[in-house]
Amino acid sequence: MERMPKWADVILTPLISLALAFVLSALVILAIGESPAEALKVMVEGALGSSYGWGFTLYYTTNFIFTGLAVMVAYHAGLFNIGGEGQAAVGGLGVALVLLALPWPHWALALPAAMLGAALFGAAWALIPAWLQARRGSHVVITTIMFNFIAAALLNYVLVNLLRPVGSMDPASANFAPATHLPKLSGMAKALGLNWGENTPVNIAFFIALAACLLVWLLIWRTRLGYEIRAFGKSEPAALYAGISALRITVVAMLVSGGLAGLMAVNNVMGEAERLVLNAVEGAGFIGIAVALMGRNHPFGVLLAALLFGFLYQGGGELALWTTIPRELIVVIQALVILFTGALDNMVRMPLERLFMALRRKGA
Amino acid sequence: MALAGATDTAPAIELRGICKAFGPVQANRNIDLSVPRGTIHGIIGENGAGKSTLMSILYGFYRPDAGEILVGGQPIAITDSQAAIRAGIGMVFQHFKLVQNFTVLENVILGAEDGRLLRPSLARARGELKRLAAEYELQVDPDALVEELSVGHQQRVEILKALYRQADILILDEPTGVLTPAEADHLFRILRGLKDEGKTIILITHKLREIMEITDNVSVMRRGEMVASVRTAETSPTQLAELMVGRKVLLRVEKPPAIPGAPVLQIRGLRMVDHDKVERLRGIDLEIRAGEILGIAGVAGNGQTQLLEILGGFPEAGSHISGEIRLNGKPLPLSGKGADGRSRRQAGIGHVPEDRQAEGLIMDFTAWENAAFGYHDAPEFNRGWLMDNAAIRADAMGKIERFDVRPPDPDLAAKSFSGGNQQKIVVAREIERNPDLLLIGQPTRGVDIGAIEFIHKRILALRDAGKAVLLVSVELDEITALSDRIAVMFDGRIMGERLPGEATTGELGCLMAGVDPAVTPPGAAIPPAAAPGSDAGGGAG
Amino acid sequence: MDFATVLQILDSAVRLMTPLLLACLAGLYSERAGVFDIGLEGKMLMAAFTSASVAYATGSAWLGLLAGIAGAAAMAGLHGLASISFRGNQLISGVAINFLASGLTVLLGQKIFGLGGRTPSLSGAARFGEITLPFADSLRPVPVIGPVYAELISGHTLLVYVAFAMVPLTWWVLYRTRFGLRLRAVGENPASVDTAGVSVTRLRYGAVMICGVLCGIAGAYLATGISAGFVKEMTAGRGFIALAALIFAKWRPWSALFATFLFGLMEAVANRFPDLDLGIITVPSMFMNALPYILTVIILAGFVGRAIPPRAGGEPYVKER
Amino acid sequence: DPALIFDLGGKFDKSFNEAAYNGAERWKAETGGSYKELEMQSEAMREQALRRLAQSGANPIVMTGFAFGEVLNKVAPDYPDTKFVIIDMVVEQPNVQSIVFTEEQGSYLAGVLAAQASKSGTVGFIGGMDIPLIHKFECGYAQGFKAAKPDGKLIINYTGTTPAAWNDPVKGGELVRAQISQGADVIYAAAGGTGIGVLQAAADAGILSIGVDSNQNHLHPGKVLTSMVKGVDNSVYEAFKAGAEIQPGVKVMDLASGGVSVAMDESNKPLISDEMTAAVEAATKAIVGGEIKVHDYMTDNTCPVE
Ligand SMILES: Nc1ncnc2c1ncn2[C@@H]1O[C@H](COP(=O)(O)OP(=O)(O)OP(=O)(O)O)[C@@H](O)[C@H]1O
Ligand SMILES: Nc1ncnc2c1ncn2[C@@H]1O[C@H](COP(=O)(O)OP(=O)(O)OP(=O)(O)O)[C@@H](O)[C@H]1O
Ligand SMILES: [Mg+2]
Ligand SMILES: [Mg+2]
């Protein structure tokens, strides 16, 4: 017998937590002398009020889906991958190398190759922490954090010394050839005669992200590997009993995780910047942690949470653009959302459970 | 109803109308209990009947939802364990509450220190332990780390903790589950000694024999309620069993004689040195034939776990194994490829692990997912790349029905089933695969009597279908009831083999303690309750 | 490399290790009590901000220190609330605290000072000055011991000495006092403490608050000791390095001293030799800067092996399911 | 109205974003006009910001930082009636004015001053994030220093490889101490927020430091030798003043035009001897006259002096 209905656990609790986070955010906005209502209006209009806002919101959502899925897959194997940031950065390097190495005639050819490059590079960056965890017991939380720093150093070196065109100020690679530019959603809409999201970066990678949600769902809940990943994540001794190799699951789960994080580069590097710039990931790897946790480590939840953070990111950007509220407000709101939905969710769940118990007793 | 013991003074403990709910589970329902001073009071009941909960409330570990507690006739509020300790109550929990990497001394003083600094407390405790040891035969090395002690010794530490706090009323929750008969006797001697001093003892146990042997009065719990309190002298095991389960139960299984066939499992000179370079198995030789149950008796921690794990394909990491194992005549690899759990299953070995909650089940998985655990890559559960969840569910439904798993809801998480029903899921999964060899460890640990009956029948049915069964249990009764041959393990060796008909409990007990009565004359010193280098695998029930 | 250079590098290592040591010991208290903490970074950052702000406003480094402790303690209280009272996920709570500190410091700083999250520079009594120990100058001419005393041991801010004193103190508290015994027990098996009649909740809150206080000192040192004011994100990953050091030290105080010294030393060496010339190749500065992180991974993998955390660590103590 | 867009560093970076902000504020104070300002929060937002401002009718739109180059190239043709001004980057579009500074020249003068002021003959350079733009400062400084003191020693450090390198005053201070221990007595900081720590630690240790971008002499009067000032504020001020009439094309702000200089004011007056003044003037004249060519690191990623 459950303490409360499933819908209350899965939907009501996070919604109330979210509401609490927003109430507190409003207090913070008041405290810095701004109007929460005004701020909310700017955010909602800027992020959701027009196809233009949606174009950006969905672009960020795409990033967060990839990093959120990455954290989620590792989490199911009982591994806390904080290295999405570094893996996505190195994934970007993979994309850049693939796209700059060959004269791709068409994006449709370049895209699979770039995806492969992104996933392979991202996975490779997760491999060492995974192996060290399985073989040497070095805690993956620490090693992935370290690998974020090392990735930053590596990218800096590669961009400044190897990929940067001579004479360019910018620590960035050369532009990718126009033939490799991914179709934007706005362009697709235009082909259908619609005027949607003109000049927004959301591109075909959004659909790849949606497909990734579906595939990850299949992987985790419909394949043997997923079954083993979940079993291993829930109980290591039981997995051993069943003949599930700890080394294999740790490594495979982290490879998939790193690969997903790496795939983010298809969106931001190939789809948006169309070249590799320094610090292209911009914290999406860390936001992925919050996205996965808020999404209850389910791909559908990840999708919704990514949308929420996409909204926060774009809305927050608009806030910083058009009001005097500093952009750090968004960091605070994100923190509160993570805190309330992730760490303090029992604060909401415990009273709710009591409420439902009381209701049931009365009903009985 | 009158209980044995002094009637003129107020009872040591009196509980009135105790209620306790854990969320939707009503663990204790309006419980009354009276324990006369200076008596040993037994409490029995099925798993989940609420015995531990009731005692934990008395000890201040849980707060009751309603009810009143009187100690020595005075109503007191037991808000936390400190209050219970002040009222002179001590408790030895079913799962010990010791800090594994602390010394005995540190564990004893924890929470009962004399001042802010440790040194004086430690000195005083050292002296006090010496005195208690002499007085009650409770010797333990005060500077030993608890994790290095055998379960029996750990239990002594728990008792010493209570005595150090000057407990007048001592609660013991299933203390004998992990002890040898000799150790249990030793414990009972101590308890009698304490009783003679005027202390009051409450003893929870599943073993009716112990109730009859040592208690003055006994109370029976069923589904959170106190159904009876009687004088032990005026009742019988059969009556108690009926009160417990609420129906008639067979206390013995009917067993037709075995018809052994060809050898299925042959083990020669099996040795194992674990990660810490401790030799756990010191040359095991065994043979099991088709249609035969070999029971392995022994105190937990004498290598049974390691034996099962090696056969099942998941020995402790970093261990070194040598020797020879043959299944149906074919050698089994001991390490590397082909030596993991998956390969062992493919070779025809089924395994009900000792610790069902940690190993046999994924507690967060649903019942139907668990019903395929370990066999999830079998062809009938898969369709190409994907798992065939419909087929797995259908298979699970069948198992739930045939094994009478309650509630019959395949979507319930394993953790939401009671221990007995969890065990049924594991047993169903392993037995219905029809393995050539079934390894089964502690099949009925913490399982209620009805389920025990059922599981025993299924094991026998497998045997009668011509399969080999290796049964490991710390319950001597279970071993003698089921086995066709009994091997006793001690300190990584097989001390001897007996036939169930001819071996007495005392003889097996001696073997379990490392003494061969055929070699050593009776009456020779029985070594103290120790299982050398024991890892005390007292797994959850 | 001459003796003077060695001394200077060691001297630099001492300064650089101080915030790491304080944060590492902070984490030690918390994690020994069974509450994991990846929010050391955020607590230090918050403390750096509050201490710099108050030190600027009052002109007193001491009040700044108190404010730093208060700031970090507030964050610690939040962590305690989430992970002890509400049995939340300790890792998530830590992540949230890092985000929160990172955002709040700039937001408040901008609101108060209007300098984009920076506080104005501190001077005079608003900073902890360097202390010259007695006889430092008169002993200087004595060979070896003189320079070591005058250069390496003398001449740090008070908080450096506090940090070093915390090591034996922590050891003593942990292994010689009742509080320490209970603290260690609650991180290994909270039920044992609970059944002994001691409140698990109170003990864990105590440990978490000590963690806050030490992080507060670390943050105050960053903002009012080693530098003069707050700059956004000024902790620059030191909280994570401290965490790595804690694991490296296997949650033991003297080992923590050693581990943080090693990290301080690595950074000091990388500062001193920005482009390490190895004859055949010159290691680019980018990799010298990443050296502490690379070495952390190597050390964790090669030398530490499986560091076994306190057994009850990371899990909330749940009595009733 | 004109508009100003700051780069990711934010307008209070104590560096060129802040200088741009000061220029805009000066224009506001003098003319009483108003302007729009924006701060970036992510890479993808650059284009968004440009388009939104152009659509809102802002003219001219001034932006700071090379990172806008790519985007501006793409956006500018879509708004032919809007004038754009980009600082620190050349964008060749008919409606764009590109303003670049010869930081190497200003840094050269800083190097000359450092050579004069140094008693030990050893000076230091502390950069923020290890990127080419900062090497440009470093290389100019090295050339000036070596020209004045051919056998002097120059110690170079960078704070890090992540954006955190711009905000690590603790490490900045520690680098100062490391350089002092190697004999440095004048240190040039081109490191954003980290530079604040550098100047502080230098002042604490009683040696001289050199500020960057804005005039930072006043931060520690009598302790900061000079500041290599980039006239970003002037450029923004001029652009705002010119309004929609601003001339497209490349505008090189060099020593000759006063685009870069070494700051001389009350704060550092006691530090600057007559010889120093003379040396700076001589070098300025030589650079302006073309006798001295200060090499720009960015042209070939190399520096002629070590
Ligand atoms: N901490 C807890 N949280 C939630 N439910 C609990 C808890 N402890 C016990 N229960 C539930 O309360 C009921 C009574 O459990 P209790 O442990 O008292 O039984 P018991 O009679 O001691 O059984 P056993 O013979 O297995 O020891 C069970 O249904 C159990 O699931
Ligand atoms: N977390 C839970 N949620 C819902 N029901 C539960 C939960 N835990 C236990 N129960 C219910 O409580 C009853 C008893 O469970 P419990 O695990 O205590 O049984 P048990 O026989 O005492 O097992 P064990 O011998 O393992 O202690 C079961 O019927 C089960 O459905
Ligand atoms: Mg139970
Ligand atoms: Mg019990």
Q: Which of C107, C235, C318 to mutate to test the interface with A (most CBs of A within 10 A)?
A: C107
- pLDDT category, B179, cuts 50, 70, 90? confident
The answer to whether the Cβ–Cβ distance between C231 and D160 falls below 8 Å is no
Residue nearest to atom 7 of ligand 1 (CA): C320
pLDDT score, position D133: 85
B47 Cβ inside 6 Å of ligand 2? yes
| For helices A224-234 and A51-76, angle between their N-to-C axes, nearest 10 degrees | 70
**B317 and B169 belong to one structural domain:** no
Instruction: Read off the pLDDT of each residue in B285-292 and give the average, rounded to a whole number.
Output: 94
CATH number at residue B536: 3.40.50.300
pLDDT score, position C279: 66
**B204 and B300 belong to one structural domain:** no
Chain A: residue whose CA lies nearest to B412: A1
Classify strands B485-490 and B292-297 as parallel, antiparallel or unpaired: parallel
Q: What percent of chain B has pLDDT over 90?
A: 53
The answer to whether the Cβ–Cβ distance between B99 and C177 falls below 8 Å is no
Residue nearest to atom 18 of ligand 1 (CA): B50
Total beta-carbon pairs less than 8 A apart between chain A and chain D: 85
Residue nearest to atom 29 of ligand 2 (CA): B418
What is the ipTM metric for this complex?
A: 0.86
pLDDT score, position A116: 97
The answer to whether the Cβ–Cβ distance between A241 and B360 falls below 8 Å is yes
pLDDT score, position B250: 64
For the ranges A71-80, A204-213, D26-35, D39-48, the lowest mean pLDDT is seen at: D39-48
* Of residues B528 and A347, more confidently modeled: A347
Q: Please, what sign has the CA dihedral across residues A301, A302, A303, A304? A: positive
User: Residue B61: its chain C contacts at CB < 8 A?
Assistant: 194-195, 319
**B86 and B235 belong to one structural domain:** yes
pLDDT score, position A22: 92
Residue B391 near chain A (CB below 8 Å): no
Residues bordering ligand 4, an ion, CB closer than 5 Å:
B 52, 94
D54 close to D79: Cβ distance less than 8 angstroms: yes
- Is residue B217 in a domain? yes
| For helices C90-113 and C61-80, angle between their N-to-C axes, nearest 10 degrees | 140
N-term to C-term CA, chain C: 62
Closest CA to C160 of C59, C261, C60, C251: C261
**B217 and B173 belong to one structural domain:** yes
pLDDT in tens, D221-251: 999 999 999 989 889 999 999 888 888 999 9
Classify strands B66-71 and B40-45 as parallel, antiparallel or unpaired: unpaired
C240 close to C297: Cβ distance less than 8 angstroms: no
**B488 and B510 belong to one structural domain:** yes
User: Does residue D277 surpass a pLDDT of 90?
Assistant: yes
Supply the mean pLDDT for chain C: 90
Closest CA to B432 of B363, B370, B350, B376: B350
3-class DSSP assignment, residue B270 = strand
The answer to whether the Cβ–Cβ distance between D42 and A313 falls below 8 Å is yes
User: Residue C179: its chain B contacts at CB < 8 A?
Assistant: 116
For the ranges B298-302, C107-111, D22-26, the lowest mean pLDDT is seen at: B298-302
Q: CA distances (Å), C296 to each of A147, B334, B366, C291, in order?
A: 10, 37, 41, 8
A233 close to A77: Cβ distance less than 8 angstroms: yes
User: Does residue C281 surpass a pLDDT of 80?
Assistant: no
Domain that holds residue B88: 13-245
**B138 and B190 belong to one structural domain:** yes
pLDDT in tens, B423-446: 889 999 999 999 999 999 988 876
**B286 and B198 belong to one structural domain:** no
The answer to whether the Cβ–Cβ distance between A329 and C289 falls below 8 Å is no
B48 Cβ inside 6 Å of ligand 1? yes
Ligand 3 centroid, distance to B49 Cα (angstroms)? 8
Instruction: Read off the pLDDT of each residue in B28-53 and give the average, rounded to a whole number.
Output: 90
**Sheet architecture: strand order including B263-273:** B279-289, B263-273, B320-327, B330-331
User: Does residue C280 surpass a pLDDT of 80?
Assistant: no
**B323 and B302 belong to one structural domain:** yes
Select from D156, D174, D193 the Cβ nearest to the Cβ of C118: D193
- pLDDT category, B6, cuts 50, 70, 90? low
B300 close to B151: Cβ distance less than 8 angstroms: yes
For the ranges B36-45, B102-111, C243-252, D297-306, the lowest mean pLDDT is seen at: D297-306
**Distance between CA atoms of B237 and B239, rounded to whole angstroms?**
5
Chain A: residue whose CA lies nearest to B365: A231
B214 close to B40: Cβ distance less than 8 angstroms: yes
Ligand 3 centroid, distance to B50 Cα (angstroms)? 8
User: Does residue B525 surpass a pLDDT of 70?
Assistant: no
Write out the residues of chain A at the interface with chain B, using a CB-CB cutoff of 8 A. 1-3, 218, 222-224, 227-228, 230-231, 234-235, 237-238, 240-245, 353, 357, 360
pLDDT score, position C270: 85
User: Does residue B539 surpass a pLDDT of 60?
Assistant: no
- pLDDT category, B1, cuts 50, 70, 90? low
pLDDT score, position A17: 92
* Of residues B177 and D197, more confidently modeled: D197
pLDDT score, position C278: 66
B442 close to B472: Cβ distance less than 8 angstroms: yes
User: Residue B26: its chain C contacts at CB < 8 A?
Assistant: none
User: Does residue B536 surpass a pLDDT of 60?
Assistant: no
Q: What percent of chain B has pLDDT over 70?
A: 92
Torsion on CA atoms B94, B95, B100, B102, rounded to nearest 10 = -40
Residue burial B301-332, b: 16+ Cβ < 10 Å; e: rest: bbbbbbbbbbbbbbbbeebebebebebbeeeb
**B486 and B390 belong to one structural domain:** no
**Distance between CA atoms of B528 and C2, rounded to whole angstroms?**
65
Write out the residues of chain D at the interface with chain C, using a CB-CB cutoff of 8 A. 10-14, 18, 130, 156-161, 164, 167-175, 177-178, 181-182, 193-194, 196-197, 200-201, 204, 219
Supply the mean pLDDT for chain B: 87
- Is residue B353 in a domain? no
DSSP chain D: --EEEE-TT-TTSSSHHHHHHHHHHHHHHHH----EEEE--STTHHHHHHHHHHHTT--SEEEESGGGHHHHHHHGGG-TTS-EEEESS----TTEEEEEE-HHHHHHHHHHHHHHH-SSSEEEEEEEE--HHHHHHHHHHHHHHHHH-TT-EEEEEEEESSGGGGG-HHHHHHHHHHHHHTT--EEEEE-THHHHHHHHHHHHHT-EEEEEES--GGGSTTTEEEEEEETHHHHHHHHHHHGGGPPPEEEEE-TTTTSEEE---TTTGGG--HHHHHHHHHHHHHHHHTSS----HHHHT--S--
- Is residue B2 in a domain? no
3-class DSSP assignment, residue C141 = coil
Final residue of a domain: which of B221, B245, B269?
B245
**B72 and B26 belong to one structural domain:** yes
- Is residue B235 in a domain? yes
- Is residue B4 in a domain? no
The distance of A39 to chain C (nearest Cα, Å) reads: 15
C321 Cβ inside 6 Å of ligand 1? yes
Residue nearest to atom 9 of ligand 2 (CA): B416
**Distance between CA atoms of B419 and B425, rounded to whole angstroms?**
10
The answer to whether the Cβ–Cβ distance between A234 and B365 falls below 8 Å is yes
The answer to whether the Cβ–Cβ distance between A132 and C301 falls below 8 Å is yes
B125, amino acid identity: A
Instruction: Read off the pLDDT of each residue in B215-232 and give the average, rounded to a whole number.
Output: 92
Ligand found nearest the CA of B21: 1
User: Residue B374: its chain A contacts at CB < 8 A?
Assistant: 241-243
User: Residue C24: its chain A contacts at CB < 8 A?
Assistant: none
Q: CA distances (Å), A267 to each of A39, C37, C302, D73, in order?
A: 29, 33, 37, 21
Final residue of a domain: which of B199, B216, B245?
B245
Domain count, chain B: 3
Provide the CB-side half-sphere exposure for B43 (13 A, CA): 27
Instruction: Read off the pLDDT of each residue in B275-297 and give the average, rounded to a whole number.
Output: 92
- Is residue B386 in a domain? yes
Three-state SS sequence of C304-315:
HCCCCCCCCCCC
Alpha helices for B227-325 (secondary structure H): 237-245, 304-312
User: Residue D40: its chain C contacts at CB < 8 A?
Assistant: none
The structure tokens listed for B20 are 């306790």
**Distance between CA atoms of A13 and A301, rounded to whole angstroms?**
13
Instruction: Read off the pLDDT of each residue in D35-46 and give the average, rounded to a whole number.
Output: 82
- Is residue B26 in a domain? yes
N-term to C-term CA, chain B: 34
Instruction: Read off the pLDDT of each residue in D170-185 and give the average, rounded to a whole number.
Output: 92
For the ranges B177-181, C53-57, C89-93, the lowest mean pLDDT is seen at: B177-181
Atom index in ligand 1 nearest the CA of residue B206 equals 25
**Distance between CA atoms of D24 and D45, rounded to whole angstroms?**
22
D68, amino acid identity: F
**B276 and B410 belong to one structural domain:** no
Final residue of a domain: which of B198, B221, B245?
B245
DSSP structure class, residue B147: G
Instruction: Read off the pLDDT of each residue in B203-222 and give the average, rounded to a whole number.
Output: 89
3-class DSSP assignment, residue B26 = strand
**Sheet architecture: strand order including B89-92:** B89-92, B169-173, B200-204, B40-45, B217-222, B225-231
- Is residue B3 in a domain? no
User: Residue D195: its chain C contacts at CB < 8 A?
Assistant: none
Ligand 4 centroid, distance to B22 Cα (angstroms)? 14
B51 Cβ inside 6 Å of ligand 1? yes
pLDDT score, position B531: 41
**B440 and B422 belong to one structural domain:** no
Q: Specify the length of chain A in residues.
A: 364
Q: Which of C289, C291, C293, C294 to mutate to test the interface with D (most CBs of D within 10 A)?
A: C289
**Distance between CA atoms of A48 and A322, rounded to whole angstroms?**
16
Ligand 3 centroid, distance to B541 Cα (angstroms)? 7
User: Does residue D89 surpass a pLDDT of 90?
Assistant: no
pLDDT score, position C321: 62
The distance of B333 to chain C (nearest Cα, Å) reads: 28
**Distance between CA atoms of B91 and B84, rounded to whole angstroms?**
10
**Distance between CA atoms of C320 and B63, rounded to whole angstroms?**
10
Residue A174 near chain D (CB below 8 Å): no
pLDDT score, position B407: 81
